[in-house]
Structure 1
Amino acid sequence: MGETLVRALVIGAGEVGSNIAASLDDEHHVVVVDTNADRIDDITYSHDVLAIQGDGTSIGTLRDAGIENADLVIASTDVDETNIVICGAAKAVSDPFTIARVRKPNLLRTWEQSEGAFGVDFMVCTDLQTAETIVRIAGLPGAHDVETFADGLVRMAEFEVGADSPIAGETVSEADRFESLTFAALLRDDDVIVPRGDTVINDGDAAVVIGSRESVRAFASSLTPEPTLEDANEIVVVGGTEIGYQTARLFEADGLEPRLVERDPARARDLAERLPGTLVLQSDATDIDFLVREHVDESDIVVATLESDEKNLLVSLLAKRLGVQRTIGIVESGEYVDLFETVGIDVGVNPRLVTSEEITRFTREQRTENVAMLESDRAEVLEIEVEADSVLFETRIQDAMGELPDGVVIGAISRDGELITPRGETVVRGGDHVVLFVDTAVLDAVTSAM
């Protein structure tokens, strides 16, 4: 794709396309295409992009959008086949790097096994990506976001701090009781706070920590009595949707034996055949008598993956009422995530947001080894390999920080497969992998210095 993307075409101005455009418009010349006039009006006024009304499968529309000069085409409509056609059409008239969003995992499998299939250079499967996100979050009690870096050596996690949290009211120094752990940031209302030792952690903050898997897990366990995934005795997935199936399959791959509840008899039989390590129960999960009879109240985690937000909220509320410790639910409407987390779901996962973040992450990885975005791109965690032109090269961290803007924290260093917890006196070596927390406001300046 080259060092810098001159022009990016985003086809589809729905929730996914709008989020991608917002993430790219600071660095790239972004053109957005959609058939819906209202969406075009909305994105014209809300983002620094050129918006064009038209059909992205039309060669004429693509030419109007400047396909000949495009470096990147992202097909993000809600129809899998349309996105594939868009990528093929783009390749027919130019040679941009193409990214397609799909929901059907079988399309992803076909693409993976047929190099260059469909004219798609990179494909993101919403349902599979969402299931992977659910399993990552389920694996760390209390976490709202979890990512791994440095080949699994480093973990980043975000935790909401409630009034009853043991670290609410503590300073960062008091809360930091774990080896190989760095408090990278506190997300407070609309502010991104880079904490010092005397910074007080408030009720309502989101704490972002970076460190070894063991330290982050120990920190998570200190915040909540919820079990880790390894300790979970019962996991119930409610809903045999594709996301529900993929979630159960991934739990099985981790050596767990979840239960899955599906109302439709034919779908339940099909899932039972495809999930040998899962107990599939054919029933209506909103039937409280069934939930009691099947001892769902004894479950450690209930994952709601039904076909509607309202049903997922209802199942989560019923589960919490029965005494389930943790609920994770799919929330298709992004604007409802915060509301649902307030009234009954411990963690709401929005598939469209997960997809847009994965696509944006991929476009950023041309400059970095790995990227994680936090709070709808308010901040990022980057993994960068240190080379000779980096401000960090063969330099003490305290000296290098003087060359970087505020809003940056070095969270961890991986050197030859070993984790180094960064301190002011630590000298960063060439070839080190450094995991950085970066406020999005200073992202360009930081990546230029790296």
Structure 2
Amino acid sequence: MMRIVIVGAGEVGRHLGRSLQNEADLILIDPDARELASAEEGLDALTLVGDGTHRSVLRKAEVERADLFIAVTPDDSVNLVSAALARDLGATRAVARVDDPAFYESKRGFESGVLGIEASVCASRLVGVELLRMLAAVRARQVVACAAGRVQVASHVIGEDSPLLAGSRARATTWPEPIRAIVRAGQLRSSAEIEHAELGDVVLMACSPLGLLELLHELTPAAGVMRTTIVGGGDVGIQLAGLLGPRGLLDRLIESDRSRCWSLAEQLHGVQILHGDGTNIAFLREEHVGRVDALLAVTGSDEANLMTSLLARELGVDHVFALVHRPGYAGVYSHLGVSGTASPHETIARVIRGLMPRGTIVGRSSLSEIAVDLVELRPGVADVRVADLPLPPGAIPLVIAGRSIRAPKPRATLAADDVLVVALPGGRVGMLEKALRRKPIGGAA
């Protein structure tokens, strides 16, 4: 069985442990014996009292035997140091939680290769990516996050207002770069094979979360720009506002702390900042919040987010999404009519699950309404060409996600930790598994 070492027995560490305990032998490290005792109550794991930045403690946990090392204490520096030391001592893969956005060189919540660590992950940015996926789903048939959230794949039905239908039949459709597959009459086909778009075609598009939202807006001009209001100017709110605002997709940001409003105004040029209480229905009415298309409740309080969401629904907002800090509360929001929720704990767990060493196939999902399966392949060795992969008939590579997002051209080469997302006609995943057993990549499938 896989061996996983987790440093940090707080809420995030315990949640990770519960989600992974049936798949691996767990060792949980924390300097606080009381935290470990609390974690042991609902967790099948060995525990070790100690400092995760001390090599003696890591050696005692036998990190050299770890398939995966995860550092998720509340201290970014502790997480980076312990993960780097674990890799130096022989852990196969290491992941560090780093929540300070200033640490990252890109706007993504995921960065690989720093200090030899496979992945540094930012909870607030990963949650923001999940909320962007939900906004995109308003304009798409279905949206699936792939490659630890670095890319999203959406299915979208071409409507009468689509610019893809413009022009005469004498001129071939120019497909946007992210559109690499089309489902027509129930058949999955490459966009290179389809000369003209037709009403009712289902296009598959794969790109960055923000790029997907922008493309869906371009393909649905009759729906206009999605007017979105954000309630909460914390880490998640400011990052979402910084992405949506410059692209004209943000109506305003509401924050209850007056001094924080001044700080937000200095950082978010061109974004309307309102000082007010998102749980006050009179304020929301006065600001005509009911006229927006979508609302994101992302304060630091679950109670405030739930109240804001319910009031927004009462005022007529069609699409309401909320940040949920406590694991397991998402079902309550859904029962009360909230369109969707994003949890930092669950988002981190999902991303880390995608980073676990599982062989070549590291992720699977389904676009069930159109009978298409999505498979994520990680070669594990460098310089593998897309054309050399043993893909079954009908398979269509959609996107390569690594340190950058690239088109999966046949001659494109994959780095060891790149992820290739492939679309397969329903029922052919087994064929791919069999092909990988016959012709393994890097010696495992």
- Give the TM-score, by structure 2 length: 0.64
| 1:295 positional shift | 1.0
1:192 paired residue number? none
Note if contact 1:20-1:357 (Cα within 8 Å) is conserved in structure 2. Answer: no
**CA distance in structure 1 between the partners assigned to 2:247 and 2:353 by the alignment:** 28
Amino-acid identity (%): 26
Q: Which runs of 5+ in 2 are unaligned?
A: 157-181, 189-201, 207-219, 367-372, 378-384, 400-405, 410-419, 438-444
Q: 1:10 to 1:271 in 2, by over 3 A?
A: same
Q: 1:146 to 1:68 in 2, by over 3 A?
A: closer
| 1:119 positional shift | 6.2
1:79 paired residue number? 75
Tell whether 2:348 aligns with 1:352. Answer: no
Number of aligned positions between the proteins: 351
Note if contact 1:337-1:348 (Cα within 8 Å) is conserved in structure 2. Answer: yes
SS in 2 for 1:249: helix
Note if contact 2:319-2:339 (Cα within 8 Å) is conserved in structure 1. Answer: yes
SS in 2 for 1:130: helix
| 1:234 positional shift | 2.1
Give CA-to-partner distance per residue, 1:234-264, whole Å, 9 cap, x none: 2100010110111111213544233000111
| 1:57 positional shift | 3.5
1:231 paired residue number? 224
**CA distance in structure 2 between the partners assigned to 1:253 and 1:367 by the alignment:** 39
| 1:16 positional shift | 3.9
Q: 1:94 to 1:152 in 2, by over 3 A?
A: closer
| 1:444 positional shift | 12
> Which residue identity lines up with residue 287 of structure 2 in the other structure?
E
Q: 1:153 to 1:313 in 2, by over 3 A?
A: closer
SS in 2 for 1:324: coil
Note if contact 1:361-1:373 (Cα within 8 Å) is conserved in structure 2. Answer: no
Give CA-to-partner distance per residue, 1:410-429, whole Å, 9 cap, x none: 7x55599699xxxxxxxxxx
**Mapping 1:242-261, distance limit 5 Å:** 242-261=235-254
Q: 1:155 to 1:144 in 2, by over 3 A?
A: closer
| 1:137 positional shift | 1.2
Match of 1:335 among 324, 328, 339: 328
**CA distance in structure 1 between the partners assigned to 2:222 and 2:232 by the alignment:** 20
Match of 2:124 among 124, 127, 136: 127
Match of 1:276 among 233, 256, 269: 269
| 1:443 positional shift | 13
1:173 paired residue number? none
1:240 paired residue number? 233
**CA distance in structure 1 between the partners assigned to 2:222 and 2:49 by the alignment:** 47
Tell whether 2:423 aligns with 1:435. Answer: yes
Tell whether 2:31 aligns with 1:38. Answer: no
Match of 1:52 among 37, 47, 53: 47
Q: 1:67 to 1:418 in 2, by over 3 A?
A: closer
Match of 1:317 among 310, 320, 338: 310
Note if contact 1:238-1:262 (Cα within 8 Å) is conserved in structure 2. Answer: yes
Q: Which runs of 5+ in 1 are unaligned?
A: 45-49, 158-177, 185-209, 215-226, 375-379, 398-409, 420-431
Note if contact 2:65-2:91 (Cα within 8 Å) is conserved in structure 1. Answer: no
> Which residue identity lines up with residue 95 of structure 2 in the other structure?
I
| 1:80 positional shift | 2.7
The 10-residue stretch of structure 1 (103-112 or 284-293) with the greater mean CA deviation from structure 2: 103-112
Q: 1:27 to 1:180 in 2, by over 3 A?
A: farther
2:159 paired residue number? none
Q: 1:435 to 1:229 in 2, by over 3 A?
A: farther
| 1:69 positional shift | 2.8
Give CA-to-partner distance per residue, 1:34-75, whole Å, 9 cap, x none: 44213124221xxxxx42232334433322211233343111
| 1:125 positional shift | 0.4
Note if contact 1:7-1:70 (Cα within 8 Å) is conserved in structure 2. Answer: yes
| 1:315 positional shift | 0.2
> Which residue identity lines up with residue 56 of structure 2 in the other structure?
G
| 1:20 positional shift | 4.4
| 1:434 positional shift | 2.8
